[in-house]
Structure 1
Amino acid sequence: MLKQVRNCILLLSAIGAFASCKNGSIFKKKPEKSTATGWNYNDKNQGGYFVAKPKDIKTGPGLVFVQGGTFTMGATQEDVMGDWNNVPRRVTVNSFFIDKTEVANVHYREYIHWIENVFQDNQAVIDGAKPDTLVWRSELAYNEPYVEYYFRHPSYNYYPVVGVTWRQAHDFCIWRTDRVNEISLINAGYQNKNVLKTELNGGGQDNFNTKSYLMGAYEGVPGKPKNNPLKDAQGRPRTTVTMSDGILFPDYRLPTEAEWEYAALGYVGENPEPRRSEKKRGEELIANKQLYAWQNDGFDNLRSTRHGAWQGAFLANFKRGAGDYMGTAGGLNDRSAIPSEVTSFFPNSYGLYNMSGNVNEWVADVYRPTTNQDEDDLNPFRGNVFTKVDKSGGEDPENWRDSLGRIKEIPEADSTLTHRRNYQRSYAIDYLDGDSLSRASYGYGITTLISDKSRVYKGGSWNDMPYWLSPGSRRYLQEDQSSSTIGFRCAMTHYGAPEGTSFKHNKTGNFFPSRRQKR
């Protein structure tokens, strides 16, 4: 018995010693030093410069990671329309995120619900956010049930929202960014959940906006996070989050045309040897140029060719021919006379649904027929207007917000850009296209139907023939107009290594063993 007591005492002493050492200098982790100055990071005694650990950003709600790369953007089949607006050209897009599905009615009604509660005293804001359900109306068709119920009835909850202008889709992306970041701060304890009660009870201008929060124009109700790792220069816990803390998500936005087309093609599935580890390098090879969003598998690319119950089934929702929207009773081909659920039909290699068919989708770009010839070959995009914060109301950040709670922005003055080498004008929509630098004049918006408000849409719809289902096909509509055949999905920029979170060694560039090269 005495021996057992002695052993217990020795064990408890060892545990106490271990705990003492763990809290002492033996197990204390040395602070990271700056390789530029030698000062410690995250050390209140040496400046208190807080540096978050490098990490890949989390995948936001509803998104899928798309590993970037090079591809031939443009036509994949004969230009039967004679537009010649999608000339093939080799470009590269960096890695990004994109929605797995089109934005559905239920998602957009969630947005309207928020607008109606936060801006309950501003009917103009509410009306400006609602989709135009009259896009279903036709003089020579009985479509009134869709006018009344397609957007509102629960039977259509997960059908893609239509009747939304490019501008409304753009605003939805801003709203989605704010809601995702707001709930992230609340869940982490940096904002008090009671802020939602005030916001949804007619909060109006005083609602959470990510950029307003980061610029100090919105404080909300700070929370009290447990085990708060964030510190100020004096080593005291702080509750105000910055982008460098790695907690907030980047902006949801409309995908660029290049991103959308690249994601639709799903080239990761066309690479026979994808890179899976540091020791096994993938082949730099694209095996095939796909005609539609799914992999080519047999001669008839519009239907499943695999043996089994689904052989011959249509892989997308489209119009097979004049008057044929879904086939014959008892043998319906795509089972959809109008748009179908956003998770219906066959996903592509990235797991993205309905990149061909169902509804066309807005992308961020301004339309020009010569786009592929003019743009950069890395992350090509036409539509930039470079802005700065409008501080005409004074230096108080609270005066920088507009009536919606967003930061007011104005174009940069061209006079301040004359000494820059990378850009000399803030309005770049018509750059090298009808301006003095290009020495060309097209009269867009004057002599043609194309203007600086013409936005690209892609993908084909339930009311389109197969030609428009090809990812390289492109059309345009004014940004303030809508259609029963156009919806949208959101995207998000990916920060960090291009191979993303799924790759074990998440690095940018190739890292070789540390040894000197032979002379």
Structure 2
Amino acid sequence: MKKSWYLYLFAVILLAGCSNSNTGELVGTRPNTRPFYQPHPYGMVFIPQGSFTMGAGGVDIAHSHLIQPKTVSVSGFYMDQTEITNDEYRQFVDWVRDSIARTILGDIRPDDYLIEQNPKTGETYDPPKLNWKTKIDWNSQDQDIRDALEQMYLPENERFFRHKEIDTRKLIYSYYWVDLHAAAMDHLRERTHPGQNIPHHTRSEYVHNETINVYPDTLVWITDFTYSFNDPMTEKYFSHPAYDHYPVVGVNWNQARAFCVWRTELLNNAMAKRKGGTVLSEFRLPTEAEWEWAARGGNQLNPYPWGGPYTRNAKGCFLANFKPLRGNYVADGGLRTVVVGHYPPNGFDLYDMAGNVAEWTNSAYDPSSYNLSWDMNPNYTYNAKKDDPPSMKRKVIRGGSWKDIAYYLQVTTRAYEYQDTAKSYIGFRCIQPYLGRNEGDNANRASRVYH
């Protein structure tokens, strides 16, 4: 009997300890949740937070007009181990193509290509969601489907060849983004000028819709170089499997940013479908400071990502794909671009932070931006509009490319290009901000280097 009493008392204490009743203590809204661990994104490496001297380390007076040395601190983040490749960007293009085709087919086959209600809650989707489980039969014998998909192809009078070709002008991606900078400035004016007649803005006014054609400009190989035979590259570079693991080019800054938005939605939608899935932070282009910190690879004052003052290793081999010597392009092993990850990585295990293709950053270009920005996560940015002058559309590019001399490969060298301009020597890579603890980095990291 005594033994039974002890068992009863133990059960009461156990139930009381597991109770969710209000005890009057401050326990937060999620007292029993598991600790958050940020999964390691596929193909990315972790860049720790740190502080470094951003800008030139020499005594070049003319150079220091654009690059004033400044000690800055940067938060940790994940960064793509290589530049985005043709094959990876093609996944974006194909997704846009298929989403447009499903929208078209949804008009004639809504049960097959659209999801109008949530199967669990019965909630009606407005507009309906696309059903990605139903495959698109591009060679369907159904005349209705053939007629509907016909608008995805070039008109017969515009086809170079007899076979059908997708009209790349119709590959339009639409997304929304929130202009937090404009919202913050308006809020600041309202807070610092109370009682004045300041126009009130609704939250929706800061939400902007962007529509952009996502297909790369394949003609850049001709337009970038006068009197040079690069014609075969226009037809093969983006579409041929031989160049799958080469860095994508012909992508302007707007397209690179749209890719980051799509990649964010792709991952977050997949995470939301998993049991207990957590929406992660966004993918985006790196700021100029983040890019330089990552490119340095832990080295503070060395001019190149691999450290040291030279572009060759101890065996005399070039360490990047650029324009060496007096223009001997093949001396480094590549005539134009080369497969990503071909040269040794830097101290953070990042490949091609110098050479191969220059890379877009999130930052707008201004000669004095180093002096204007803060010293913690510095960034100068400007959301240029279509009717803005060209000087307002300049975006910073870093790293140098296959056509540049060694000076542009240095981690401190700044250059710019216009955000609506595509080039055969500019690509990009994404970052994902680090939110918190990560579990099993080394075990979960997946590399996408193609030697």
**TM, length-normalised to structure 2:** 0.66
Partner of 2:301: 289
Structure 1 CA distance for aligned equivalents of residues 328 and 74 of structure 2: 37
Pick one of 156, 172, 183 that aligns with 1:125. Answer: 172
Judged with a 3 Å threshold, the aligned counterparts in structure 2 of structure 1 residues 28 and 100 are, in CA distance, closer, same or farther, namely farther
Residues 372 and 124 (structure 1 numbering): CA distance in 2 closer, same or farther, change over 3 Å? same
Q: 1:318 aligns with which of 319, 322, 326?
A: 322
How far has the Cα of 1:257 moved from its partner? 0.4
Is the Cα–Cα contact under 8 Å of residues 77 and 434 in structure 2 kept in the other structure? yes
In structure 2, what residue type is equivalent to 1:459? Answer: G
Structure 1's 23 and 355: CA in aligned 2 closer, same or farther, altered over 3 A?
farther
Q: Where is the helix percentage greater, Structure 1 or Structure 2?
A: 2
User: Matches of 2:381 and 2:334 in 1, distance apart?
Assistant: 35
Residues 470-512 of structure 1: CA distance to partner in whole angstroms, max 9, x if unpaired? 1111111111101111000001111136xx6579xxxxxxxxx
SS at match of 1:496: coil
Pairwise CA distance, 1:84? 2.3
Deviation at 1:339, TM superposition (A): 0.9
* Counterpart among 212, 215, 221 of residue 136 in structure 1: 221
- Structure 2 residue runs without a partner (length 5+): 1-7, 105-151, 153-169, 174-211, 442-451
Q: Of the candidates 303, 308, 311, which is equivalent to residue 312 of structure 2?
A: 303
For residue 384 of structure 1, report the CA deviation from its aligned partner: 5.8
Unaligned runs of at least 5 residues, structure 1: 1-19, 43-48, 190-229, 231-240, 242-246, 271-287, 306-310, 328-333, 386-428, 430-444, 504-519
| 1:419-439 Cα distance to aligned partner (Å, 9 max, x none) | xxxxxxxxxx8xxxxxxxxxx
1:349 aligns with 2:290: no
Matched, 1:369 2:367: yes
Report the Cα offset of residue 301 of structure 1: 1.9
The equivalent residue for 1:244 is none
1:491 is matched with: 431
Cα deviation for residue 323 of structure 1 reads 3.1
The equivalent residue for 1:481 is 421
Q: Does 1:255 align with 2:242?
A: no
Structure 2 distance, partners of 1:99, 1:266, is 14
State how many pairs are aligned.
328
Cα root mean square deviation, aligned: 3.3
The alignment partner of 1:90 has SS state of: strand
The one-letter amino acid paired with 2:316 is: G
Secondary structure class of the residue paired with 2:408: helix
Bigger CA drift: 456-465 or 53-62? 53-62
Comparing 121-130 with 256-265, greater Cα deviation is found at 121-130
Separation of aligned partners in 2, 1:172 and 1:372:
28
Q: Which amino acid aligns with 2:25?
A: G
Aligned-partner Cα distance in 1 for 2:19–2:400: 55
Moved over 6 A (4+): 20-24, 31-35
Judge which range, 140-149 or 121-130, deviates more.
121-130
Residues 77 and 146 of structure 1, relative CA distance in 2, 3 Å threshold: farther
Shift of 1:33: 9.9
Is residue 316–residue 354 contact of structure 1 (8 Å, CA) maintained in 2? yes
Counterpart of 1:253 in 2: which secondary structure? coil
Task: Write the mapping of 1:455-470 to structure 2, written as runs, cut at 5 A.
Answer: 455-470=395-410
SS for the counterpart of 2:262 is helix
After superposition, residues 25-44 of structure 1 pair within 5 angstroms as: 26=14, 30=18, 38=25
The equivalent position to 2:242 in structure 1, one of 130, 145, 155, is 155
- Shift in Å, 1:55: 2.6
Report matched runs for 1:408-447 at 5 Å: none
| Aligned-partner Cα distance in 1 for 2:272–2:283 | 17
Q: Distance in 1 between matches of 2:335 and 2:267?
A: 34
* Pair 494,323 (structure 1): closer, same or farther in 2 beyond 3 Å: same
Determine which structure has the larger strand proportion and give its number.
Answer: 2
1:65 aligns with 2:46: yes
**Contact 1:34–1:40 (CA under 8 A) maintained in structure 2:** no
Please state how far the C-alpha of 1:40 moved relative to its aligned partner: 5.6
What residue is the counterpart of 2:163 in the other structure? Answer: none
SS of 2:374's partner is coil
* Identical pairs, percent: 34
After superposition, residues 383-394 of structure 1 pair within 5 angstroms as 383=381
- Give the TM-score taking structure 1 as reference length: 0.58
Tell me, what secondary structure is at the counterpart of 2:376?
coil
Residue number in structure 2 paired with 1:98? 79
CA contact (8 A) 2:322 2:402 kept: yes
Residue of 231, 246, 271 corresponding to 1:184 = 271
Q: Deviations 1:136-194 (Å, cap 9, x if unpaired)? A: 003311101111101111110000000000000000001011111222233x24xxxxx
The alpha-carbon distance between structure 1 residues 77 and 357, as it changes in their structure 2 partners (threshold 3 A), is: farther
Distance 2:10 2:400 in 1: 62
Name the residue aligned to 2:252.
165
Deviation at 1:313, TM superposition (A): 1.3
Cα gap change, 1:88/1:167 in structure 2, threshold over 3 Å: closer, same or farther? same
Change (3 A) 1:335 1:78: farther
The 2-side partners of 1:119 and 1:146 are apart by 28
Relative to structure 1, is the Cα distance of residues 40 and 266 closer, same or farther in structure 2, using a 3 angstrom cutoff?
closer
Separation (CA, whole Å) in 2 of partners of 1:351 and 1:303: 19
Q: Counterparts of 2:40 and 2:22 in 1: how far apart (Å)?
A: 30
Residues 359 and 459, structure 1, Cα contact 8 Å, conserved in 2: yes
Report Cα offsets for 1:265-291 as digits up to 9, x if no partner. 011xx4xxxxxxxxxxxxxxxxx5111
Does structure 2 retain, via aligned residues, the 8 Å contact 1:33–1:39?
no
Question: Is the partner of 1:252 in helix, strand or coil?
Answer: coil
| Residues 10-89 of structure 1: pairs in structure 2 closer than 5 A | 26=14, 30=18, 38=25, 52-77=33-58, 79=60, 82=63, 84-89=65-70
Could you tell me which residue of structure 2 aligns to residue 450 of structure 1?
Answer: 391
Relative to structure 1, the CA distance from residue 40 to residue 302 in structure 2 (aligned partners, 3 Å threshold; closer, same or farther) is: closer
Instruction: Quote the Cα distance in structure 2 between the aligned partners of 1:28 and 1:258.
Output: 53
- Residue 339 of structure 1 aligns to a residue in which SS? coil
Is contact 1:73–1:91 with CA below 8 Å preserved after alignment? yes
- Asked if 2 retains the 8 angstrom alpha-carbon contact of 1:254 and 1:490, the reply is yes
Shift of 1:450: 2.2
Do residues 112 (structure 1) and 93 (structure 2) align?
yes
